[in-house]
Amino acid sequence: MANQKILVVDDDKDVVRLMRAYLERAGYDVLVAYDGETAVHNLRREKPDLMLLDLMLPDRDGYDITRLVRNDKALAHIPIIMLTARVDDTDKIIGLELGADDYVTKPYNPREVVARVRARLRNQHALIPNILRVGGLEMDIDRHKVEVDGRSIALTPTEFNLLQVLMQQEGIVFTRAELIRRGMGLDYEGLERTLDSHLRNLRQKIEPNHHEPTYIHTVYGVGYRLAEE
């Protein structure tokens, strides 16, 4: 089986060189791009398994590239981990709302980035042959497809993982920590706002009225659950 391909996009060549060394040591094939146009070219030609994307690039920024990927059916399934020197939560939330699956704030430990890559790809490919249905909501796990009342819904990889966790145990209340661990791949601390952002996007896509959710219910003071049929 061919090694999984990781696209590293950053205009800092030292960062790229370091990240490439760690990823290759972990057994991945690594593609690199130092600007947005090259990144888009590599995405369309190589279809990598995951992209590490710097937010600040000399031509088009990480937000623009994330938006492009999520709006392209041939690329939308690719997980995106955003690399950013910005510490403002607003910047991170914007990236998540555009469709990034995770973010790492610079300076970062390359070993942590590799661990997040590994966890993200494990979640992406460890699919259970199954079709899940709750009311008008249907998930085909093998084909990575979701429909609501027969209408196809485009979800990011993280949104898909979170919905899968909820649908596999409908009616069960998950704490935020459980959803972060099971749906996002690692035991993150302090990422409740990140989780809430993903779930808000998910509701906007699958709920008939996201202000009064039919499927994903908030259990105040505890977490979230998928309504039983």
In three-state form (DSSP H/G/I as H, E/B as E, the rest C), the secondary structure along the chain is CCCCEEEEECCCHHHHHHHHHHHHHCCCEEEEECCHHHHHHHHHHHCCCEEEEECCCCCCCHHHHHHHHHCCCCCCCCCEEEEECCCCHHHHHHHHHHCCCEEEECCCCHHHHHHHHHHHHHHHHCCCCCEEEECCEEEECCCCEEEECCEEECCCHHHHHHHHHHHHCCCCCEEHHHHHHHHHCCCCCCCHHHHHHHHHHHHHHHCCCCCCCCCEEEECCCEEEECCC
Domain boundary among 125, 145, 179: 125
Say how many domains are in the chain.
2
Are 144 and 120 part of one and the same domain? Answer: no
Which amino acid does the sequence have at 151?
A: R
Contact 87, 56 (CB under 8 A): no
Give the residue numbers spanning the domain of 74: 5-125
CATH assignment at residue 197: 1.10.10.10
Per cent of the chain over pLDDT 90 is: 41
pLDDT value, residue 190: 55
Q: What average pLDDT does the structure give for the chain?
A: 85
Are 81 and 170 part of one and the same domain? Answer: no
145-157 pLDDT, tens digit per residue, is: 899 998 999 998 8
pTM above 0.75, yes or no: no
Are 137 and 111 part of one and the same domain? Answer: no
pLDDT at 229 over 70: no
102-151 pLDDT, tens digit per residue, is: 888 888 888 889 988 988 887 765 544 478 888 899 998 878 889 999 89
